[in-house]
Amino acid sequence: MLAGRYRLLNPLAEGDTGAVWLAADEMLRRDVAVKEVRLPPGLDPVRRQEACASVLREANLAARLKHPSIVTVHDVVIEHERPWLVMELLSGASLEETVSRRQPLPVHQVARVGVGILSALAAAHAAGVVHRDVKPGNVFLTRTGRAVLTDFGFAAVEGEETAGRTGQLIGSPNYIAPERLRGERGGPASDLWSLGATLYFAVEGTPPHPAESPVAAIGRVLTDPARPPERAGHLGPLLMRMLAPRAEERPSFEEAARILQEIALGRPGAEVAVVSPSPESLPPAEPEAAPVPAGNRGRTLVWAAVEVTAVVAVIAATTGVAHFAFGRTVQQGPPRLSEKPGAFTVPVDLCELISAADVKKLLPAVKTPGKPTNQGGCEWMSPGIGLDVQPAPPGKQWGKSPRQAHELFVNQRNGTLPSGQIGWGWSEIGAAMHSARTTGPLTVKPVGDEAFGYDLYDNRKTGRLEQSHVVLRVDNLVLDVTYTVVNGSKDGPAIQAGAHTAATWVAQALNKQKARG
C-alpha cells in the first residue's frame, strides 16, 4: 500500500530501471497505473535526491498539460525511499510493441496516430515544454484507437536552467533530431523530427536510419538522408520532409497536421477549409480521468469517470483558423498576433482587478477582501457564494507575447471537457465534495481579446447550475473567472451573467493597466 491509498496488484511491465503496476486507488475506487522507479543499490544520498527530484519534475510537467493525447498524472508518492508515479490506467500497448509483435500499421492508422501526437506536442509547446523523447516506446495506443504521448522525464521547459545536464545525450539515437545529436538544445522542430521518425517506424517497421548499434545510428542520422519509405504511400513525402536534416526545411506544425488529417480521413491532397476534424470522424473515446489541479486553500476539484470525445487538432486554432469543437462553433482567434513581449511582463495582482464595491454586487454578504491563492490568483468568499480569478492554465500567469498567450488560451479551450462527471468542493463557501457534470466550451459575448465559457451542474440532488466560468485573454494574459453559487439564491442564467460580468470587469481593469503602460 502506497501513501495509505494505492494498493499494488500486479506488474504490467518491467525493465532495468523500474516497473509499471496495476494498482487500486482505494480512496476514489478506481484502477490506476503506478510507475515504480528503481534506484541502483548503494546510490549516495545526493544522487538519490536528484533522482526523486527528476520524477517530481516529470509529474509536475505532465500534470500541467491537459490534453486527450497526453497521459494523465494523478499523483506522485515518495515511499520506501524511492519515487512512484500514479497515472491513468491505459488499456492497450505501446506503438513499439504493437509494430514489433505484429506488423507495420496501415497508412491511414499511422496518420491518425500522427494527428493525435502532433496535437499533444502543440499543446506542450504552447505551454513552453519540449518533450525531447518522442519515440515508438513513448506513444501508447489504447484499445479504442487513441494515441497517447507518455514519459515527460526528459522534457525541457522554456527558461529552465540546464546546468548539469549539458552534454548528456537524452533519448534513443534513432529518434533524436540531428541538431540535438550535434549538442544543441533543440526545440519544437526537434520534436517534429522525432515524431516523423516514430511515424516512419509505425508504417515501415524500421527506423528511418536503420543501424546495428546506437553509435552507428548516430552517425547515419548526422550524415545520411532517411531511407526512402516503401509502404508509406501518400504519407511518404510528408515523412521525408519531417525528417529533413535542417529544422528550417521541415514543415510547420499546421501544414503537417493538415496533411496527416487528410490522409487519416482518406482524402490525401484535398483542399481543407477547416483543419479540425468533426467528432464523428474521430475514434470513440474511452472513460478516462483528468488531472487533479493543485489545491487552492481548501478548494478541491477531482475529475472522475469522464466520458469525452478526444480532440486531436489544437494546431488549427493556434494559427487563427476557425475551429469546430464538440459540436459548437467557438469564436475565431485573431489571425495575426504579435510575437513581441506583451503589456504584462510582471505578475499581475489579480485581487486589484475587481473593486470592493463591484465584488459586493455579486457577493452581497462578503466581509473580507480578496484572498490570494497559491496559484497566483484571487478569490472572494461568502456563505454559499464565491468569486474566483485564476491564471489559465494554473500557475502560468502570462505568455511572453500575445501570440504565445493565444496558444495558451487555445490549449485551455481544447482541454475543456464537453461532458462528464466530476467531484468538486469548496469548503470555505460551504460546498462539500459532491458530484457534478460539466459542459463546454461555450460561446460567450466578447470579453477582452477572446473568450469562451464552461459550466458545472449539480449531478445528484438539484441538477441546477452551480458554477460558471469565463476564460479570457487580454494581450499576453489568460485568466479563468469563476462565479459559484451553491446556496440556491441565484438561478442558472444569473450565475452565467455573474461570471460574464466579473470577466468584463477584469478585462476592463487589464485594458486600463495596459493603456497606462
* pLDDT per residue as tens digits for the range 366-404: 999 999 987 789 999 999 999 999 998 766 656 678 888
**Closest CA relative to residue 173, chosen from 209, 227, 225, 144:** 209
Residue 248: DSSP 8-state: G
Q: Is 512 exposed, middle or buried (0-12, 13-18, 19+ CB in 10 A)?
A: exposed
pLDDT surpassing 90 at residue 125: no
Residue 166: DSSP 8-state: T
Q: What residue segments make up the domains of the chain, in order of their start? A: 6-87, 94-161+168-272, 299-516
Distance CA 463, CA 440 (A): 17
Residues in the chain: 517
Q: Tell me which range, 138-147, 396-405, 490-499, is most confidently predicted by mean pLDDT.
A: 490-499
For 478, the 3-state DSSP assignment is: strand
Distance CA 244, CA 225 (A): 8
Q: What is the largest CA-CA distance in the chain?
A: 73
pLDDT for res 128 = 81
Distance CA 84, CA 27 (A): 17
Distance CA 399, CA 409 (A): 10
pLDDT for res 225 = 92
> What's the grid cell of residue 402?
500575445
Q: Does 31 participate in catalysis according to the annotation?
A: no
Phi and psi angles of residue 83, each rounded to the nearest 5 degrees, phi first: -85, 150
Distance CA 303, CA 331 (A): 27
pLDDT for res 170 = 57
**Closest CA relative to residue 393, chosen from 372, 416, 371, 370:** 416
CATH homologous superfamily for the domain 94-161+168-272? Transferase(Phosphotransferase) domain 1 (1.10.510.10)
Query: Using only C-alpha atoms, what is the Rg of the chain?
Result: 23
439 strand-pairing partners: 455
Strand residues in 53-176 grouped as ranges (E): 73-79, 82-87, 92-94, 129-130, 139-142, 147-149, 156-157
Q: Tell me which range, 72-86, 235-249, 446-460, is most confidently predicted by mean pLDDT.
A: 235-249
Distance CA 318, CA 296 (A): 29
300 strand-pairing partners: 425
> What's the grid cell of residue 348?
499581475
**Closest CA relative to residue 115, chosen from 58, 51, 61, 67:** 67
Please say whether the beta carbons of 386 and 428 come within 8 A: yes
Phi and psi angles of residue 338, each rounded to the nearest 5 degrees, phi first: -70, 140
**Closest CA relative to residue 75, chosen from 289, 227, 222, 266:** 289
457 CB neighbour count, 10 Å cutoff:
15
Q: Determine the Cα angle at 417 with ends 454 and 353, to 5°.
A: 40
pLDDT for res 277 = 33
Architecture of the domain whose range is 6-87: 2-Layer Sandwich (3.30)
pLDDT for res 460 = 67
Least confident range from 95-109, 141-155, 390-404: namely 390-404
CA distances in angstroms from 394 to 127, 291, 467, listed in the order given: 11, 12, 18
325 CB neighbour count, 10 Å cutoff:
23
Distance CA 335, CA 325 (A): 18
Distance CA 209, CA 215 (A): 12
Distance CA 38, CA 249 (A): 41
Give 186's pLDDT tier (boundaries 50, 70, 90): confident
131 or 49: whose pLDDT is higher?
131
> For the chain, what is the mean pLDDT?
79
| Residue at grid coordinates 549539458 | 166
**Closest CA relative to residue 55, chosen from 35, 71, 41:** 35
Q: Determine the Cα angle at 30 with ends 28 and 36, to 5°.
A: 100
Which CATH number is associated with domain 299-516?
3.40.1000
In sequence order, which ranges of 415-480 are alpha helices (DSSP H)?
A: none
Distance CA 438, CA 423 (A): 10
> What's the grid cell of residue 514?
495596459
Query: Which of 25, 31, 44, 133 does the annotation list as catalytic?
Result: 133
Sign of the Cα torsion 71, 76, 77, 82 reads: positive
- pLDDT tens digits along 33-86: 998 877 777 777 777 777 777 777 777 776 667 788 888 888 888 887 778 889
